[in-house]
Every structure is written in C-alpha cells, then in structure tokens.
Amino acid sequence: MNRIGDSPRRREDARFLTGHGRYLDDLRFDGLGHAVVLRSPHAHARLRGLDVAAARAMPGVRAVLTAAEARADGLGPLRPYAEANVQTGEPFAFAAQPLLAEDKVRFVGEPVALVVADTAAQALDAAEAIVADFDPLPAVTTGEAARATGAPQISDAVPGNVCLDWRTGDGAAADAAFAVAAHVVSLPLDNHRVVANPMEPRGGIGLFDPATGRYTLHVSSQNLHINRNHVARALGVAPAEVRFVAPDVGGGFGAKNFAYAEHVLLLWAAKRTGRPVKWIASRTETLLSDHAARDMQATASLALDAEGRFLALRIESLANLGAYMAGAGGGLQTYQYIHLQGSVYRIPVIALRVGAVLTNTAPIGVTRGPGFAEAINAIERLADRAAREIGLDRAELRRRNMVPADAMPMTNAFGFAVDSGAFPQTLDAALARADLAGFTGRRRASEAAGKLRGLGFAYHVKGTGGPPEENVEIRFEADGTVSLVTGTQTIGQGHETTFPQIVAQRLGIADDRVRLRQGDTDLIAFGGGHGSSRATYMAGTAICRAADEILDKGRAIAAEMLETAEADLRFADGRFVVSGTDRAVGLLEVAARGRAAGRPLDTYHFWKRDHMTFPNGCHVVEVEIDRDTGAATLARYTAVDDYGVLVNPRVAAGQAHGAMAQGSGQALLEQAIYDPASGQMLSASFMDYALPRADDLPSFDLGFNPTPCTTNPLGVKGCGEAGAIAAFPAIANAILDALAPFGIETIDGPATPHRLWQLLEKHA
C-alpha cells in the first residue's frame, strides 16, 4: 500500500510508454471531416472581402465558413475571463475577440475562415483557393510603441490601445522612503515573450447530436468545465448543452488554460456539416496563434538604508497583451502580479504602476508562474544589483531582509498573507548544497580553460490555487474497487498515482484499488481544471473532506454489523475496530453492506478555498561563458524547495525538473520575436524558436526543506511552477556575475551566444 510520502513509479507511465494513451490523434470517428483555419498573413489590415466561391466548389469540401455565417448563426465572440480590475472593480478597456475576423485583422495568425473537407489535404487546397482582399495598416509590436503618441489604433473600444493604467500601493510613502534612503538602485527589466509549446499541440474534434441538440468537443485542454462555459456562451447555448472530453492531454503549461476560437468553430462546423470535425494545430500555428506569455517591461527601483535593509520598492511596468485581452488578461496584472510583490522580504512600502496595452501580436495568456514570475524576477535582480553597489554579500543582503521562520505567517505591504515557510534556512540549505565555498576554485578552473564562470541564485515564492472551487466524488464499486472522480485534471503531472495515495492514506484502502476518473465534464458537475499548481491542494482537500464524510457514514453501518455503539469504534488501517477488542470490519465490507442496504458510502464533496498555498525555495546556478563565441553553458543547477508535505517525492521532483527546464529555456534560448515594422513573427518554427534540449541542461540537484502548509488538511503546496519562476533570474544573475569584470550590469532577453558575444565585444 502506497501512502502519502511514498514514491511509487507513476502508474500511468506504463500506458503512455506502450502507446496506449488516448490523445486527440488516437481517437477515431466515422465520417470525420478535417478542418483547416485560414489565418491572416498581416499583423494589421482592413479585410475588404473574401471570395470563397472557388474553395467551396473544390473536391471534398463540405464547408467554407466566414464571419458572415457566424454572424447569421448568432455566434458570439470570446470575452476575457476577467473584465474588471480584481482589486477595484474598475472595468478594463477591451474588445471581445471575434471567432473569425471581420472588417479587420489584428495579428498574424488570426483566424479568418474555416474550411472543412473530407481530407486534410483537400481542406488545405481549398484554403489556398480563398481570395482575401486585405488593405495593410501600420502595426505595433511592443508596449511602448503601442502607447506612443500617434500609434496605430488597434481597436476603437480601447482608446490609445491602453486596457488599464493603474497605480496601487502607497506612492507618497514610497517617495518619502526613497528621499531618505542611503542607497537607491534601479533596473530596466525585459521579461520577454515566450511560447509554451506543449508536446501535443492544441486541437479538437467537434461533434453535434441533432437528436439531443448537444455538442461534444474532444479537446486538448487543461481546464474543461470553465472553458466549456465560455465556449457555450459563444455558441449561444447553456453550458449543459456542451460536453468537453479530454482523456489524456500532452502537456499544457498554461497555453491550454483558456478557450480559443477554434473550440467554438469546430462545434459549429460539426453542426453545419452533420459530421465530426477535427483540427490539430501545426507547430507553426502553435507559435503564431497559441496564447503567448510574459512580455512585460518594467523599471524597478529599490531603496535601502545604510545597513542594507529594504525601505521601499517601486515598479513601473507595462504588459503587452497582444491583439486581444484574452483569458486571464488584466486579471493577471491586477491580482497575481501584485499579490506577492516584494516576495519573502520585509519591504514596508511598495508602489506600483501597472499598465497593459494591445499590440499587433498574438494574445497573451499564461505559462508557469504568471505574474509571480515577473514580480520575483524584479526583486531578485534588484537584490543582486544592490548587493554589488553597496559592497555587501548577496546572500547576506537577502538574509537581513527575509521574514524569519519565527515571524510566520507573514503579511506583505498589500495585505496578502503567506502562511508558512523557513526562508533563511532554505536559502542557506541551497547555498550549502550548491557548495558555495568551492565556487572560487571552480571559477579559477574555468578561467584557466579560457571560460568565464558566474554564480547566481534567486529565491522564489508563488501563490497556488487557481479557480477557488473544486469537487470530488468517491464511489465504492461492486467489484471492490473505488472510483475517484475529480473536477481537476491531469495533463501529465501523475495524478493517477498521487491521488490514490491520498485516498489510501485517508481510508486505509490499497492505492491500487483506486481508479481516477477525470477529463469529462459529464462525470462531475464542476471542476477548476489544472492551472496554478492547484490540483493536489484543491482535489486533495476535497478528497480529505469526502473521506471524513465516508467514515462518518461507515461508522454507523459498522456499528450495526459489529453490534456495538458508534462511540466504541475507532478507525485504523482501513478497518472499524471495537475499542479494546480484536473485533473489526473492513471499510470495503462496510461499503458492500451499505450498498446492499440502500445506504451507499458514495460521497460527493464540493468546497471553496479561502487561502492559497505558497511554495518557495532557492535555486542556485553556475554558468560558463565562452569568451570567443558568447555561448553560455549551465554548469551546475542546485535547488532546495519547500512544497510542504510531499505526497510523492518522485513525482514532485519530476514536476520541478520540468519547470527548471522551462525556466532555463526562457533564460538562455527562447524568445518570440516580431518584426517591428511589419508585425511578422520571425520565430514561427523550431528553426528559429529554440527550445532547450537534453544537452542544454545539467543534471539537476534538487533537495527539499518542507514546512507544512497550515491552511489545508494535507499540508501540501503546489510544486509545478517553481523552477520556471526561479530559473530566469537565477541564470541572469549568474551571467551578470560572470560578466561583472567587463562592467556589464544588465542583459535583456535570453542570453543567446550572439547577444553575449555582442556585449563582450562592446565592453572588451
């Protein structure tokens, strides 16, 4: 029996590795139609007209659908999930995203028409036969360009392209603190745009049943119920009339958190054509049209006293939201981004200016650590700069300002509370594990080989929880197995293994008897999906509460079976035991008796959280840079993280490794680049968008320093995003440490060989 804290191998891996996973391309339907999305080749243009007559007459073509048909059938646009400032209620300026462009296109890759044919090749041929009359307009691709005087107006609904421009915190107190500070450091920061690139691209297979009027979408998505609701709204039907199904999902990383136009279009096309309709994105479509992430520029300033204690933090940031406020949109900027400003440090005063604008680029969504990653990058980069300028050891500066373990819980300047953590101890554990004392020797060895070596580190913290409501149902089956039905969703994190471990711990049932059922909106009334590392916390808490209800119901039946009073029973190791005797009955026997008597132990539990969890930790990186080529190599990567109670340490480590790889990719390789004049994406294939490969990464050295979360019965904290938050500033700090002898104090974008070579040549 595997319980909480054990590390069995993931049971789902046997299915995946032997080719028995059920992804979109594994599903088979009779009479399947294949869809191709005709996308805009222009970043910004008037759409004067579409001539689709030739395409509709081509062999095998079943439908060519445009905005005119969508309007005639009453389809609506996609609206952002948050339409107002989360803190103030002030409405954002936004234009809803049309399913198919009409009158105007706003980014390269925007859907213009949908073609459905008997084969994918026929659909592609027909898409090429559509004649679109575009009148190109000037485009903007950066936040600063979008809000400049005279910038092209992207939408009449968003004057000046500004969706929000909000000041929060105590500006006057910040000004006063900066005026008396012994030291002030400032940095320009570019948290550049990246694309998540899950292994399985976005896609779907839409069906419509004319007998029931019900839609079904088999979809690669990480948030079924909520996305289903938004798709139903665009279709103009009730959520109950739409079913979303996703047995297996080949990764998400945030790109599949929200609804897309294609989700609605496939269901609509299925109804129009009377057949199932399938579309799966090509990799170039992924890079062009998936929700991208990050893309925030900021000027960050930190005020310190003579002893290096933080007095105030001031940040002016500008987020590039792309052509539409999609998905989380401004909600991310007004909640997650501000939530943990200042991180784990005691900073009495914080003042923020938070801006967000539209540009002629793909809409921004989320990837691991959205909002929190941008905030942590700012403070960790500032901490390193401050330590250098005032001549203080970087670790000592952080220790002086960290909230100590005996002062937990902490409440930051914005009133947000973090319940648990031992920040200074975790920092010291990470530096010791990384052999900080031996770094000088390793640097000398690198110098002897003609390389520059630098060490950097960053402390991360994030709030995890995502959508605040969740539910589970635990059913006792006639064959002696237990079905666990959840509204959370597995997209590769190992829930088929870890969730049964929780059930085993709480109910004393062998974990191999528990079967996870998920990924279908018809299975359970509601679900928050998977996002913000929420699943183990949210579903795990619901499991614990459902288990308590099961034991309460089971105790009454067990008392009857054992002919004793309920008060005389205790529950241990899966059995109800009469205290002081060896008389006992197993929970599964009790469940069988209850089912036969019409008193099943099956239990549904819904709950709404009041708190998030706060994983945190320190990541320490060493890089080597080739002076002649600028190529940077990750020489060492050490981390000590606090994820609270670990349900399965092996699974937690795997999740952390994946996040470290993603964060390393942003730091060294990945960047979504647009031509500033034309708005064309210059990195729309893997020839130009560089993902990290195995030989780009070292063997990660990961340790844990857990402090149990105090706000959930398991004591768990989310673990899937930490590495992506910490790696970017840690690697940047390491690179700047290596380049410090050349007087190089900042670097923008990924530290590619070309960029580092240019800096070295400039400062040689």
Q: Is residue 132 part of a domain?
A: yes
**205 and 114 within one domain:** yes
Whole-number pLDDT of residue 328: 86
Residue 26 lies inside a defined structural domain of this protein:
no
| One-letter identity of residue 563 | E
* Number of domains into which the chain is organized: 4
- Which of 277, 217, 261 lies closest to 63 in space, CA to CA? 277
Contact assessment for residue 37 and residue 114, using Cβ atoms and an 8 Å cutoff: yes
Residues 336 and 393 in one domain: yes
Question: Does residue 539 lie in a domain region?
Answer: yes
Q: Please check whether residues 222 and 368 belong to one and the same domain.
A: no
The H or E element spanning position 472 is: strand 469-476
- Give the pLDDT confidence of 346-379 residue by residue, as tens digits: 999 999 999 999 999 999 999 999 999 999 999 9
State the CATH number of the domain containing residue 128: 3.90.1170.50
User: What CA–CA distances, in Å, run from 151 to 23, 147, 605?
Assistant: 44, 6, 52
CB-based burial of residue 247 (10 Å sphere; 0-12 exposed, 13-18 middle, 19+ buried)? middle
Query: Does residue 14 sit within a domain?
Result: no
Query: 502 and 599 in one domain?
Result: yes
Q: Give a yes or no: residue 652 inside a domain.
A: yes
In whole angstroms, give the CA distance from residue 565 to residue 357. Answer: 67
Dihedral sign computed on CA atoms, order 717, 718, 720, 726:
negative
Kind of pairing between the strands at 162-169 and 349-357:
antiparallel
Question: Which residues have C-beta within 8 Å of that of residue 23, sequence separation ≥ 6?
Answer: 200, 220, 247, 248, 249, 250
> For residues 300 and 313, is the Cβ–Cβ distance under 8 A?
yes
pLDDT, residue 329, reads: 85
The reported pLDDT for the residue numbered 734 is: 98
Structure tokens at 481: 């197995």
pLDDT at 248: 95
CA 365 – CA 321 distance, rounded (Å)? 8
- The helix-helix angle for 261-273 and 224-235 (nearest 10°) equals 60
Do 473 and 524 meet the contact criterion of CB atoms below 8 Å apart? Answer: yes
CB count, 10 Å around CB of 269? 26
Residue 143 included in any domain: yes
Do 254 and 312 share a domain, yes or no? no
**Peptide bond preceding 8: is omega within 30 degrees of 0, i.e. cis?**
no
The verdict on 541 and 583 lying in the same domain is yes
Listed in sequence order, the residues at least 6 apart from 327 whose beta carbon sits closer than 8 Å to its beta carbon are 80, 81, 257, 258, 259, 291, 363, 365, 366
Q: What is the predicted pLDDT for the residue at 764?
A: 82
Domain CATH number, residue 504: 3.30.365.10
pTM of the model: 0.96
Q: CB-based contacts of 465: which residues, under 8 Å, 6+ apart?
A: 532, 534, 537, 538, 609, 611, 612, 613, 718
Residues 228 and 337 in one domain: no
Q: What is the DSSP string of 208-238?
A: EETTTTEEEEEE--S-HHHHHHHHHHHHTS-
Residues of the chain with pLDDT under 50: none
β-sheet bridge partners, residue 637: 621
Residue that terminates a domain, selected from 588, 608, 628: 608
Q: Is the residue at 381 inside a domain?
A: yes
Q: Can you give the pLDDT at residue 676?
A: 96
Residue 370 resides in a domain = yes
Question: What digits encode the pLDDT tens for the residues 11-47?
Answer: 999 999 999 999 999 999 999 999 999 999 999 999 9
CA-wise closest residue to 308 among 177, 179, 182, 176: 182
Q: Residues 273, 150: one domain? A: no
Residue of 79, 67, 74, 25 lying closest to 258 (CA atoms): 79
Of 231, 281, 303, give the one whose Cα is nearest residue 111: 281
The per-residue b/e assignment along 55-84, b for 16 or more CB within 10 angstroms, e otherwise, is beebeebbbbbbbebbeeeebebbbbbbee
The amino acid present at 668, given as its one-letter code, is L
Domain boundary, last residue among 608, 625, 644: 608
- In this structure, the answer to whether residues 296 and 284 fall within a common structural domain is no
Of 289, 316, 340, the position where a domain reaches its end is 289
Q: Are 327 and 213 contained in the same domain?
A: no
Given CA atoms 507, 511, 515, 521 in this order, what sign does their dihedral have?
positive
Tell me: do 755 and 651 sit in the same domain: yes
In the three-class reduction of DSSP (H, G, I as helix; E, B as strand; rest coil), residue 754 is classed as helix
The two structure tokens encoding residue 535: 């699943």
Statement to judge: residues 400 and 279 lie in one domain? no
Print the domain residue range for 514.
Answer: 467-608
